[in-house]
Amino acid sequence: MGGNGTGQSILVEGLEKRFGDVHALRGIDFAVPRGSVLGLLGPNGAGKTTAVRILTTLLTPDGGRAVVEGFDVVRDAAAVRRLLGLAGQSAAIQEELTGRENLEIIGRLYHLGRAEAGRRADELLERFDLAPAAHRPAKTYSGGMQRRLDLAASLVAHPAVLFLDEPTTGLDPRGRSGMWEVIRELVAQGTTLLLTTQYLEEADELADQIVVIDQGAVIAAGTSEQLKSKVGGDVVEFTVPDASRLGDAVAAVAGLTDGDPFTDQETGKVSVSIGDRGSEALIEVVRRLDAAAVEIAGLSLRRPSLDDVFLALTGHAAEESAATPGPPRRRGRRARQEAGA
């Protein structure tokens, strides 16, 4: 299939990209073994989409190189395009057309014959539970159905490598779990997958390997377990219902660990990394809060989540930085790509 025998389906070395003053990618490296799933994780503006746009031949890098199935994405762009599938935010879907028409047209654009394109469309509609809606305009579809149709469109030509750019952003929980199910099935069939997401849970659920990027640089890489072990043990989490006491609560538990406790101002949630001290630390937290006369709700001791990993790595939470866009936003497509969301 590919031109290289290394077993790497995607290889990225020292990849750099600038948009004016914005250094969207500052030399990132990663590799995706054939048949595996890589989760590219990071907040909005981290450079995830820029990396995907380079890998899918839509942007030319300013430095470094990217190779897909042995083909350089700049020099052999045409070959790379014949091997990849790209899906994400329903961009390929023409809402006025029916689900079947959408897939048929994509099939024709991949140079399938008329009959073959129709056959492939039916097959994919069946597989993604869209057959009952095949003859309805796509604009009548739910968000989850549109994403599934978009994903189906990216699979028309049996791509060897699939890129999913934030496949569940904006979906409700039901739509999201539906998408996950479909993606898991694909992966089980051996497709190499690169997935970008701002949801730690999503990377945890789907990816074999996770690369965390922030502000255009790789800040961590490994399996979900490896990343979690970086946080170094368990987390005590509690909620302070009275927002005015949040500061007191943090001050009370601050001395417990090396790192600062993380607070979420909006929900009043406080997380404290306690290493391997388990229930002993839990009791200490309760004692200190009691001494400070802070009332709490929902106290728990849990294994670290990728949220905690992100916090430990970047010093800020994934959602927090997702809410504060880096470069100023301008209207339209250009602003989005320059932000490298």
Partner 1 sequence: MTTVAAPITVAPTAPPIIRQAGWAVTDSLVMAKRNLLVWSRVPAYIVFTIVQPVMFVLMFRYVFGGAIHVPVKGGYVSYLMPGIIGQTGAFASMGTAISLAQEVQKGAIDRFRSMPIARSAVLAGRLIADVVRMLITIVIVVGIGYAVGFRFQNGVGGAVCMVLLATGFGLAVCCISAFTGLAIRDEESVQAFGLIWLFPLTFVSSAFVPIQTMPSWLQVFARNQPITLIINAMRSFALGGPVAHALWTSLASIAGVLIFFLPLAVRAYRRTS
**If you compute the radius of gyration of the chain from its CA atoms, what whole number of angstroms results?**
22
**Interaction between residue 137 and partner 1 (CB under 8 A):** yes
**Interaction between residue 86 and partner 1 (CB under 8 A):** yes
By C-beta, is 155 or 211 nearer to partner 1?
155
Site for partner 1 in 34-53 (CB under 8 A): 53
Q: Which stretch binds partner 1 (CB under 8 A): 104-112, 216-224, 264-272, 300-308?
A: 104-112
Return phi, psi of residue 98, to 5°: -75, 165
Among 4, 6, 109, 172, binds partner 1 (CB under 8 A): 109
Q: Which stretch binds partner 1 (CB under 8 A): 153-161, 171-179, 195-203, 319-327?
A: 153-161
**Interaction between residue 334 and partner 1 (CB under 8 A):** yes
By C-beta, is 190 or 247 nearer to partner 1?
190
| Least distance CB 124 / partner 1 (angstroms) | 8
Site for partner 1 in 160-179 (CB under 8 A): 160
By C-beta, is 54 or 220 nearer to partner 1?
54
**Interaction between residue 10 and partner 1 (CB under 8 A):** no
**Interaction between residue 339 and partner 1 (CB under 8 A):** no
**Interaction between residue 157 and partner 1 (CB under 8 A):** yes
Cα 285 to Cα 264: distance, rounded to the nearest angstrom:
18
Among 43, 69, 130, 148, binds partner 1 (CB under 8 A): 69
**Interaction between residue 132 and partner 1 (CB under 8 A):** no
By C-beta, is 190 or 278 nearer to partner 1?
190
Cα 308 to Cα 277: distance, rounded to the nearest angstrom:
17
Residue that is written with structure tokens 């538990």 in the block: 253
Q: Which stretch binds partner 1 (CB under 8 A): 76-84, 265-273, 290-298, 314-322?
A: 76-84
**Interaction between residue 91 and partner 1 (CB under 8 A):** yes
**Interaction between residue 182 and partner 1 (CB under 8 A):** no
3-state SS string over the chain? CCCCCCCEEEEEEEEEEEECCEEEEEEEEEEEECCCEEEEECCCCCCHHHHHHHHCCCCCCCEEEEEECCEECCCCHHHHHHHEEEECCCCCCCCCCEHHHHHHHHHHHCCCCHHHHHHHHHHHHHHCCCHHHCCCEHHHCCHHHHHHHHHHHHCCCCCCEEEEECCCCCCCHHHHHHHHHHHHHHHHCCCEEEEEECCHHHHHHHCCEEEEEECCEEEEEECHHHHHHHHCCEEEEEECCCHHHHHHHHHHHHHHCCCCCEEECCCCEEEEEEECCHHHHHHHHHHHHHHCCCCCEEEEEECCCHHHHHHHHHCCCHHHHHHCCCCCCCCHHHHHHHHCC
Q: Which stretch binds partner 1 (CB under 8 A): 37-45, 98-106, 276-284, 295-303?
A: 98-106
Contact flags string 282-321 toward partner 1, x per CB under 8 A: ----------------------------------------
Q: Return the closest-CA partner of residue 341 out of 170, 13, 333.
A: 333
Among 5, 78, 225, 244, binds partner 1 (CB under 8 A): 78
- Single-letter amino acid, residue 52: V
Residues near partner 1, by CB under 8 A = 1-3, 53, 56-59, 69, 71, 78-79, 81-84, 86, 89, 91-92, 94, 96-97, 101, 105-106, 108-111, 123, 127, 137, 157-160, 189-191, 331-334
